[in-house]
Every structure is written in structure tokens, then in C-alpha cells.
Structure 1
Amino acid sequence: MTTTPTPPRIGASEPAASLFDHLRAAGHRLMPTHALSRLTYHVARARAPWFKDRLNRFFAERYALDLTQSELDDPCAYSSLNALFTRALRPGARPLPDDPTAIISPCDGTISAIGTLSAGRMIQAKGIDYAASELLGALYDECFADGHFATIYLSPHDYHRFHAPIGGRLRCTQQIPGRLLTVAPPAVRSIRGLFLRNERLVTRWQTALGPVALVAVGAVNVGSITTVWSEEGTPLPRGQLRHYGENGPAFERGAEIGRFNLGSTIIVLFPAGSITWTDGLNSGDRIRMGEWLGTHPGGTA
């Protein structure tokens, strides 16, 4: 696959919210989402075959899971609903681009927003923007002020592991506490500052492009976010920073870096001038982990 340079754009995003979107979001804000997520956490890890087999079959049928690229193609072969949800891909299922300058999608999902930051602000939906400095907390860097970003929503149908979009070394992480509001498209269109309100794991990487940030945003029913460098659950007490410096773990492009234990959103930010988006990508487009997100114009990614 080849890419065609496209002119800079402020952003493509979800359309403006409808009245129905606002009504749904208002109802969701009243729900005890943390309590519901704790309940889901335990239900999703139930291992009794009589229960989990029925649950897994129902989930696979309800959300039309495509297990043809998964390690196991029978939903009942997974030990729990969470194991089905966080299923691995079979080896070779997602060959990466041969071009070393290709930057890949870190996950499967639907592009919610993509474009260029304007004075440090990112588009959430039509008429709604937010500050990258608030999203990234203590890990914000001025190189992102006029940089580039992509927001990818993972629905229950999707593969829920996330991977390195380019090769790099983990420099620091911060787990930022917050709510667990839904990040489904109606909420994105209607809840101002949604991604700033929710719990999130912010990671910053040193790459050939310079600093790159990847944010895993929690949502309702996300009991925890697992990373490959930590035990299950959030890797740090809430709000605290961890600096790895030059000794942080290094990952090649496409390497798994974490997974959602029930689904959410990935936001990735690049420095100004470091990426040319793949021609034609727009809000609402489906994309899979390993597919071209863009190209690094200056060298190997």
C-alpha cells in the first residue's frame, strides 16, 4: 500500500450531537459507572463452564465477533468472558507493511477523530475541542502543541489489544483518575471534555519521530487496563508518575503493549511535521491494527 501526501487539516471528527445523543448522555452521567464496572469485572472473570460458556456464546453472537484471526475460534474455548474479550491474534494474522517508514494503527476500531492540533487543542466532535495538556497531564510536551493526533474507538466487536504504532522506548507513564463514562459515539458527540473526565493511562515514548504519546482511555465496564510491563490492573497508584528514562522497555513496531479488559478508546499524538496521514482516512472509517495510519517522512519509523 502507498500513501499520498495530503494537506494539513485541523481535523475530521464526529458530527454535532443530536437531541437523542444529549438525552442518552444525560442518562448515562447519572449511572453509578464505577459500581457497574466492578460488577462487570467479576462477572467477566467467572470460570464455571455452565455460566461462562453461555455468556461467551451470547457475547460472540450479540456482537458478531470475528474469531477467524484469533488464536482460538470457538468462544467456549476461552476460560472466561474477559479471556474472550482480550483474545490474542494467531501468529501471522496481521502482517505489517514492508515500508519501514509506515506508521501503523495501534488497535482495531473506528476512527473517531484525526487531524492536526491547533494551538494545543484537539477536536473531539463538531463544536467540541479540548486541550492536549489536560489529556496528557504531567506528560504533556510542547512538541504536541501543533502536532497530529488520531482517536480510535474500540467497540465490543473489536480486538482489544493495542500495539506500538512505531518502534520506540517507553519513557514515562501516568495513570490519571476519573470517571468511567461510555465513550461510544453518541457520548463523544455530546459530552464536552469526555476524554478528560475519564480514567486514562498516559504513556510517552521516545521514537525516531521524537516524543510520541499514547493514551488508553477507560470507560464503563473497563475493569482494568493491562500493560505488558505490569501486572493486571493499572500499573501505578492513581495520579502518580513513573519515569523509566533510558532504561524503559523498548518495543518494535507492531509489538503488543497492552489490552483493555472490556473496551474503550486509544488516542495517539505525534509531534508537528512527523506524520503524513494515509490518504482518505476520515472520521467513521474502520481500521485494524497493523494497517497504515500514516508515513514518517524523514526516516525509519
Structure 2
Amino acid sequence: MLNQLKAIIQYLLPKQFLTIIFGWLAKKQLGKVTTWMIKGFCKLYRVDLSEAKLTNAADYKTFNDFFARELKEDAREIDTAENSIIMPADGVLSQFGTIQDSQLLQAKGHFYSLESLVACHPDMIKYFQNGSYATTYLSPKNYHRFHMPCDGTLREMIYVPGSLFSVSKATTESIPNIFARNERVICLFETELGPMAQILVGATIVGSIEVDWAGIITPPREGIMKRWTYSDEIKLSKGQDMGCFKLGSTVITLFASNAIEFSNNLKVGDVTRVGQKLAERI
């Protein structure tokens, strides 16, 4: 009942307006006010700043600087085994498994289609049919940067406009097709495993999605799909920083059929940390 109430609130909220206002506020340099807000946020969500390169709230000029914070060099250990695939983000493993009949599990009782997730891109539908997927939810308390799960060469990036529903556990269990309805950035890579995609899903109050090779992808929110193609100029290694959310959201990682095998000890709800083993190459 409570989840249904939260879902109704999500439908009624002016999500775009709230996100625009928060995004505007988050990039303002407000001095002591910014420091006070960051300290309050850290206390409310139990954010551990001791892992960050800048450990003092006063060192961040804006809220966005705080959200995009980098970690100390030794804060995350990367599994360097040749066949290992690593977690792309700190958060919670909300779902993972095999894409069966083009369906991915969003939450108990809720499925969504591969076609809708990749905006009906014919090549990606072919690449990931009967493949594997892992969904990582980044809450407000988490480190907000996302990383490469394996070595790869970027081939394509697509911005898909959409809604900005919350992607918290309560709403993913109540609102159908959230990940295929929300704004997202799809990054397609060529890897030794075959094609691999990292899909960066927007949400309410996520003021920005940014990637290291192109900067801020959203905003602006112009309501049109955008596409970029690449040859061999952008190569990223396992564990390398890809970009950030300006507040938490979700990363969906797609692999081709028979490319990987998930670690035996994984279960839905596991806490994830960048660099930990997610799977290994078959």
C-alpha cells in the first residue's frame, strides 16, 4: 500500500520542474550556504567523505562538485584478473540475470523489454538478445561516478529523452517500465567479450548525466533523441572512470549471449563497490 502511494505521488509530482530547479541550485556557488547544505546532506544520508580526495565539505564550491567527487587513488581495489568483469558503480545490485525472450526483470512482477530499453536500436536488439544484464542502483549516499566493467572501445552513444521517475526500490516495484520510460544515455562498446553496453538512467532530481569524453549530455532537455558514433579514438580500460550522475541513479550493463557468467555468490540486494568482481568471461 505504501509503495502504491509513493507511485501515485510520482505521477503527480512536477518532476521536470523539480529537476530543473535542483540542477540550477546545485551549480550555484553559495559559499557557507553550500557547505552547510553538503554537511546536512552527508549527515542525513550518512555519506562517507573520508574516501574522497576532498574530505572537507568546505572544499566543494558547489553541490555538483560534491556529487561528482572523486575518490582517493586507493579507495577501491580493482579486480585485475584477466577474465574478471567488475562492478561498474557503488550501490545495490537491484537485479541481474539473463534476458529471456527480450524481457528484463525490473522488480518482482515487473518486466520491461530490451527493445524499449535500447530505443528500438536494431543492432543492439540483435547484440543483446538472450544476453545478460546487471542493474545497479546508486542511492543519494553513494559515490556517484560510474566505471568500465571491462576494457572497451566506444562505438556509439545515444541520448534518449524521457520521464524522470524516481528509481528507488519503492517506485521500481510499483511503476512499470521505469528504465525504458526514463531519460537515459546508452553507451555501446566493442570489447573482447563482444558488444557491451552501459545504460545511464536519469531520475527525479538527477540534475545532470556527464561522460568523460563528451562532457554534460543532459541538460539541456530538448525532447529529441541524439546519436554520436565513434571509430577507434576512445578506448577505456577496466575500472576507468566513465563519468558521473549529479545525484544517484541507475546503471544497466548489458552483455551478449554466452559472453559472461555471473559470480556464484551474487544475489539481488547485494551492496556493490567499484572494482569488485561481478562476473567472468566465458
Which TM class, normalised by the smaller chain length? over 0.9
Q: Tell me whether 1:257 sits opposite 2:242 in the alignment.
A: yes
Question: Aligned letter for 1:167?
Answer: D
Q: Tell me whether 1:173 sits opposite 2:157 in the alignment.
A: yes
Which residue of the partner structure matches residue 5 of structure 2?
Answer: 23
Question: Aligned letter for 2:89?
Answer: C
Which residue of the partner structure matches residue 192 of structure 2?
Answer: 208
Q: Tell me whether 1:125 sits opposite 2:107 in the alignment.
A: yes
Rounded to whole Å, the distance in 2 between the matches of 1:228 and 1:146 is 30
Rounded to whole Å, the distance in 1 between the matches of 2:258 and 2:22 is 42
Rounded to whole Å, the distance in 2 between the matches of 1:205 and 1:174 is 12
Q: 1:227–1:235: 8 Å Cα contact kept in structure 2? A: no
**Which deviates the most, 189-198 or 277-286?**
277-286
Rounded to whole Å, the distance in 2 between the matches of 1:220 and 1:290 is 27
Deviation readout 1:44-97 (Å, 9 max, x if unpaired): 122121210111110111110012221011122111111111110111221211
Rounded to whole Å, the distance in 2 between the matches of 1:77 and 1:26 is 39
Give the 3 Å change call, closer, same or farther, for CA 233–204 of structure 1 in structure 2. Answer: closer
Q: Which runs of 5+ in 1 are unaligned?
A: 1-18
What is the TM-score normalised by the length of structure 1? 0.89
Aligned length: 278
Secondary structure in 2 matching 1:62: helix
Rounded to whole Å, the distance in 2 between the matches of 1:279 and 1:37 is 39
Secondary structure in 1 matching 2:9: helix
Which residue of the partner structure matches residue 240 of structure 1?
Answer: 226
Post-superposition shift, 1:233?
3.4
Rounded to whole Å, the distance in 1 between the matches of 2:100 and 2:215 is 37
Q: Tell me whether 1:293 sits opposite 2:278 in the alignment.
A: yes
Q: 2:159–2:217: 8 Å Cα contact kept in structure 1? A: no
Question: Aligned letter for 2:111?
Answer: D
Which residue of the partner structure matches residue 154 of structure 1?
Answer: 138
Q: 2:67–2:246: 8 Å Cα contact kept in structure 1? A: yes
Instruction: From 24, 28, 39, give the equivalent of 2:21.
Output: 39
What is the TM-score normalised by the length of structure 2? 0.95
Question: Aligned letter for 2:8?
Answer: A
Rounded to whole Å, the distance in 1 between the matches of 2:215 and 2:151 is 23
Which residue of the partner structure matches residue 51 of structure 2?
Answer: 69
Rounded to whole Å, the distance in 1 between the matches of 2:137 and 2:242 is 17
Q: 1:201–1:217: 8 Å Cα contact kept in structure 2? A: yes
Post-superposition shift, 1:235?
9.0
Rounded to whole Å, the distance in 1 between the matches of 2:80 and 2:215 is 33
Post-superposition shift, 1:119?
1.2
Q: 1:105–1:289: 8 Å Cα contact kept in structure 2? A: yes
Post-superposition shift, 1:234?
3.1
Deviation readout 1:117-144 (Å, 9 max, x if unpaired): 1011100111111111110122623131
Rounded to whole Å, the distance in 2 between the matches of 1:143 and 1:42 is 38
Identity of matched residues, %: 33
Question: Aligned letter for 1:79?
Answer: K
Question: Aligned letter for 1:275?
Answer: I
Q: Tell me whether 1:95 sits opposite 2:77 in the alignment.
A: yes
Q: 1:121–1:145: 8 Å Cα contact kept in structure 2? A: no
Rounded to whole Å, the distance in 2 between the matches of 1:133 and 1:75 is 43
Secondary structure in 2 matching 1:71: coil
Question: Aligned letter for 1:92?
Answer: D
Post-superposition shift, 1:248?
4.0
Secondary structure in 2 matching 1:258: strand
Deviation readout 1:157-195 (Å, 9 max, x if unpaired): 000000110000000011000011100000000100011
Which residue of the partner structure matches residue 171 of structure 2?
Answer: 187
Q: 1:151–1:265: 8 Å Cα contact kept in structure 2? A: yes
Q: Tell me whether 1:104 sits opposite 2:86 in the alignment.
A: yes
Secondary structure in 1 matching 2:49: coil
Q: CA RMSD, aligned part only?
A: 1.4
